[in-house]
């Protein structure tokens, strides 16, 4: 059977602009909606593929020039690819939403991606919480008590919502899809937004007989308090996972995990770079010139403040960086103890008050 002219398929003139071609495609595509097309389903699907093929060629400047010059022979390879492509993906690229949402699976009945919704017990969601630590807590490692932000699973039904021995049936709200739809009229188009079904918790199924203890909610009456162990040397942005302490499953499956994302509170003295720590230290002028050593603070745990001796080389300048090796944060990496260093940026210490004798000495130094 000979192919129809692509301009005829779209219903546009041969000199139509790009915006006219797109407008015509949208109008024709909507007329092939299964709820609007009066003919057989197979015929509607075939017409949509033909429309898809015509638009893929005429909306591409290079392919359109070849078609205008050589007809179907000049674009057969591109056109065949468009015809065999998934019409849902192609249409979605034009309208910016999922064709399966719009047509309700009218052209084949599969979900976007080609996989049906999973059935049976589903794992609960992971939960991510922010946890703020001080430098001292991160230095030592710490154990924290945390009250869960949601109730524990019902002990009677283990979160399944069903009474013992009860089976499941298809959810009447979503008809087993696990998703509910809301239609929004936008001009000539109806956009359908989809959300997880609240009635079945997106599982697509509800108990035939609800658990009497939790009244079918799957949740207990209490919030659990857990203890989390933070390892020594943990850094900003890292995470600690507690298995099985996330949200309970809505269908009797395993709970998700609880994930703590670490944030370090700003320190009054130190700044951190991986395992190394940095701070500014005031050094008096004679020590900068002649050299010596000064007492400096060291990063430490909450209950064990520490100081150390920093060696200042002769002729140290302001903003020179001095180091004490092995006095940064420590942690285990692949079973080995690894330590960072402590770095100190030199600044000069200016006394608030100068006595008569000191003034005379400074004058002499200035003259020298």
**CATH number of the domain to which 61 belongs:** 1.10.287.110
155 and 23 within one domain: no
> Taking the chain, what is the end-to-end CA distance rounded to the nearest angstrom?
107
Q: The domain spanning residue 280 has which CATH number?
A: 2.60.260.20
Closest CA to 129 of 220, 256, 8: 256
Name residues whose C-beta falls within 8 Å of residue 310's C-beta, 6 or more positions apart in sequence: 281, 293, 294, 295, 296, 322, 324, 344
349 and 284 within one domain: yes
229 and 139 within one domain: yes
Closest CA to 283 of 349, 189, 235, 341: 349
Domain carrying residue 348: 271-356
92 and 14 within one domain: yes
323 and 256 within one domain: no
Closest CA to 213 of 149, 151, 159, 147: 159
Beta strands in 141-199 (DSSP E): 142-153, 168-170, 179-186, 189-196
Tokens 């039904």: give the residue: 157
pLDDT in tens, the chain (368 residues): 568 899 999 999 999 998 899 888 888 887 876 666 777 777 878 888 888 888 888 988 888 887 887 777 667 655 555 555 445 444 444 444 444 444 444 444 444 444 444 455 677 788 888 999 999 999 999 999 988 877 778 888 877 788 888 888 888 988 888 888 777 766 656 677 778 888 887 778 888 899 988 888 888 878 888 899 999 999 999 999 998 888 777 666 788 888 999 999 999 999 999 999 999 999 998 999 999 999 999 999 988 889 999 999 999 999 999 999 999 999 998 889 999 999 999 999 888 787 888 878 878 877 77
245 and 141 within one domain: yes
Name residues whose C-beta falls within 8 Å of residue 30's C-beta, 6 or more positions apart in sequence: 36, 188, 189
Burial of 188 (0-12, 13-18, 19+ CB in 10 A): exposed
236 and 125 within one domain: yes
Sign of CA dihedral 48, 54, 59, 60: positive
Closest CA to 134 of 125, 142, 122: 142
Q: In angstroms, how far is CA 46 from the centroid of its own chain?
A: 40
Number of domains in the chain: 3
Q: Cα–Cα distances in Å, from 221 out to 156, 218, 354?
A: 12, 10, 70
CA angle at 351 for the pair 345 and 354, rounded to the nearest 5°: 155
Please state the φ and ψ torsions of residue 185, each to the nearest 5 degrees. -80, 120
Q: What tokens does 68 get? A: 């205008």
69 and 29 within one domain: yes
DSSP-derived secondary structure letter, 214? T
Question: Does residue 125 fall inside a structural domain?
Answer: yes
231 and 135 within one domain: yes
3-class DSSP state of 322: strand
123 and 38 within one domain: no
Determine the pLDDT at residue 79: 58
Q: Do the Cβ atoms of 317 and 250 come closer than 8 Å?
A: no
332 and 291 within one domain: yes
Confidence (pTM)? 0.55
* CA trace torsion 312, 316, 317, 320 (10° rounding): -50
Question: Does residue 324 fall inside a structural domain?
Answer: yes
Determine the pLDDT at residue 271: 94
> Which residues sit opposite 147 in a β-bridge?
225
């Amino acid at each position: 059977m000979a192919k129809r002219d692509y301009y005829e398929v779209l219903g546009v003139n041969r000199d139509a602009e790009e915006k006219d071609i797109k407008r015509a495609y949208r109008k024709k595509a909507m007329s092939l909606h299964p709820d609007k097309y009066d003919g057989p389903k197979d015929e509607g699907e075939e017409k949509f593929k033909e429309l898809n093929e015509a638009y893929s060629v005429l909306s591409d400047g290079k392919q359109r020039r070849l078609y205008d010059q050589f007809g179907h022979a000049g674009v057969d390879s591109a056109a065949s690819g468009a015809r065999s492509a998934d019409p849902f993906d192609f249409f979605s690229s034009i309208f910016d939403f999922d064709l399966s949402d719009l047509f309700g699976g009218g052209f084949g009945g599969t979900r976007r991606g080609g996989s049906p919704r999973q059935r049976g017990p589903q794992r609960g969601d992971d939960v991510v919480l922010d946890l703020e630590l001080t430098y001292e807590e991160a230095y030592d490692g710490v154990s924290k008590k945390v009250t869960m932000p949601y109730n524990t699973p019902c002990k009677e039904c283990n979160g399944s919502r069903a009474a013992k021995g009860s089976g499941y049936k298809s959810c009447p709200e979503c008809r087993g899809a696990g998703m509910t739809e809301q239609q929004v009229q936008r001009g000539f188009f109806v956009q359908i937004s989809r959300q997880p079904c609240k009635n079945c918790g997106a599982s697509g199924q509800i108990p035939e007989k609800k658990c009497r203890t939790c009244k079918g909610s799957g949740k207990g009456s209490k919030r659990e308090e857990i203890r989390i162990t933070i390892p020594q040397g943990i850094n900003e942005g890292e995470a600690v996972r507690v298995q099985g302490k996330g949200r309970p499953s809505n269908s009797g499956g395993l709970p998700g995990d609880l994930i703590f994302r670490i944030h370090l509170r700003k320190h009054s003295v130190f700044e951190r770079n991986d395992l190394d720590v940095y701070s500014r230290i005031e050094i008096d002028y004679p020590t900068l010139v002649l050299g010596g050593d000064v007492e400096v603070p060291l990063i430490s745990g909450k209950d064990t403040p520490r100081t150390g001796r920093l060696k200042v080389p002769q002729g140290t300048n302001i903003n020179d960086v001095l180091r004490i090796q092995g006095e940064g944060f420590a942690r285990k990496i692949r079973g080995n103890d690894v330590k960072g260093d402590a770095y100190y940026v030199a600044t000069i210490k200016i006394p608030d008050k100068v006595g008569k004798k000191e003034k005379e000495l400074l004058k002499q130094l200035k003259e020298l």
